[in-house]
Amino acid sequence: MTTFLGMPGLPVATERGTLRGPDTFPVAARRALADTQLRKNLGHATSTIRAKRARVVGELDDWEELRAAGAAIKADVMARLPELLVQLEENVTARGGHVHWARDADEANRIVLDLVRAAGTPDDPVTSVVKVKSMATQEIGLNEALAEAGIAAVETDLAELIVQLSDDTPSHILVPAIHRNRAEIRQIFLDHMPDVDPGLTDEPRVLAMAARAYLRRTFLAARVAVSGANFAIAETGTLAVVESEGNGRMCLTLPQTLVTVMGIEKLLPTWRDLEVFLQLLPRSSTGERMNPYTSMWTGAPRTSDGAPDGPQEFHLVLLDNGRTATLADEAGRQALHCIRCSACLNVCPVYERTGGHAYGSVYPGPIGAVLTPQLAGMHGHGADAPAGGDPVDSLPYASSLCGACFDACPVRIDIPSMLVHLRAKHVETAQAQRRVPGLPASAENAAMSAAAWVMQDAGRFSFAERGLQLGRLLARDGRIRSLPPPLSAWTTSRDVPAPPAETFRKWWARTRGDRS
């Protein structure tokens, strides 16, 4: 076993993968807000999922107790992660599986590519693999790495297939094609799906059957499958995938070789712990009481007489890719509790209006705003920061801090507090990089220092208060929408409430008498 868990964690340094987009969140969000069809699609989809979730969660009297249990189990995993990973490796190996350790995206892609090549021969190489929906493989850019080596990775989840056929990128953790409507999907199938019926309609059942026919041929020809994992049980070496379509079951049983890429945080200590999460996950993600398909496998499966049952070879790739760096941050490590249910996305007013592409990461929404900066690392405003600002640095600010994400999270991740923590880290880093001896670290720092000086003296504060009253001259309908520089930096993106007609001091003097 490699020893990277015993070493100081480092943020992701590689450019491979999908954690850092080309634009900052404000730039990308402004572009998304102009797309009225996108906003309509998102509004309809998220409201539907929210309503389903509310119904099935409301059926359980012990929902809050389940959330607390899930949070406690994940906290225990983070506290004992190194020893649990060793236990998992031992149990997977004892049952005929093979375990590989990957520090980053490049190493993980190299391992998977070598395994795919080993499944073929010089005369009959493997030229394609089938994939179960996997956030980890999207995070590391596995499809692109395989394509560069001449190997096609076919997504078998319906929404992932839609995204892949249209050369698009996912915009939601659970429903990657949430930004598409039925008419758009029909056109994608007509344009890009081989042997599709030209008379295809946009009826959901017809679209699903067209995808089914295409994928069945792919499943039966596949020799290698690549999956992620929702959970891994340390005490038995068991992996679990939950899904709604049955494509995962096909990938996990038909090919001769199965390669699973799993983030090291997906562990559960015992088999009994899985009981909690199989109640939390489906209700929070799809609004179902249980997942239609729950597939579990331990090592290289065998029948009672020792014959292979399913894949003849099983390989587990344990992925770090910035996770040990996240684990080292006591205030930020809660992000590793995430079970990828996407409940926080479906209640977030920011995500509902901008969609997932604005975040520039495979992990969008509130959880992406705290997970991505920790996995990828923030630049601050140093010399190595991209022109126009680092897209990852902007993510902790992509929130109104309303708290809806915490209320929805099945494992009680305090996303609002982590957003504030990451904002503070960003400011501290930026100030340290820009600091000049004897001068304020930034314009914001200078403004705060000036405000503190004013508020330390009653006379100075009273004078400033009278000056602020002049702001009423700029107000329209109770709001100030434009201020001159440098205050224009605020009003370009938000309004300022107009000062009240009467200050607190004047009100106090009028109603209580001047006792100052």
* pLDDT(383) > 60: no
- Last residue of one domain, picked from the residues 182, 205, 221: 221
Quote the pLDDT of residue 387: 53
Residue 121 lies in a domain: no
99-113, 357-371, 491-505: least confident range = 491-505
Residue 290 lies in a domain: no
- Last residue of one domain, picked from the residues 173, 198, 221: 221
Residue 411 lies in a domain: no
Which of 280, 293, 250 shows the shortest CA–CA distance to 70?
A: 280
Residue 173 lies in a domain: yes
Angle at 401 (CA atoms; ends 395, 405), nearest 5 degrees: 90
Residue 499 lies in a domain: yes
Q: Tell me whether strands 313-319 and 257-263 are parallel, antiparallel or unpaired.
A: parallel
Residue 195 lies in a domain: yes
Structure tokens at 367: 């959880």
Q: 380 or 378: whose pLDDT is higher? A: 378
Residue 477 lies in a domain: yes
* pLDDT(14) > 70: no
- Last residue of one domain, picked from the residues 221, 246, 274: 221
* pLDDT(215) > 80: yes
Length of the chain in residues, anyone?
A: 516
Residue 182 lies in a domain: yes
pLDDT band at 1 (very low <50, low <70, confident <90, very high): very low
To the nearest whole number, what is the mean pLDDT of the chain?
Answer: 89
Q: 408 or 480: whose pLDDT is higher? A: 408
Task: Report the C-alpha dihedral over residues 404, 285, 411, 398, rounded to 10 degrees.
Answer: -40
CB 350: neighbour CB atoms within 10 A? 19
Say how many domains are in the chain.
2
Q: 407 or 458: whose pLDDT is higher? A: 407
For residues 128 and 139, what is the distance between their CA atoms, to the nearest angstrom?
Answer: 20
For residues 86 and 269, what is the distance between their CA atoms, to the nearest angstrom?
Answer: 11
pLDDT band at 381 (very low <50, low <70, confident <90, very high): low
Quote the domain boundaries for residue 477. 455-512
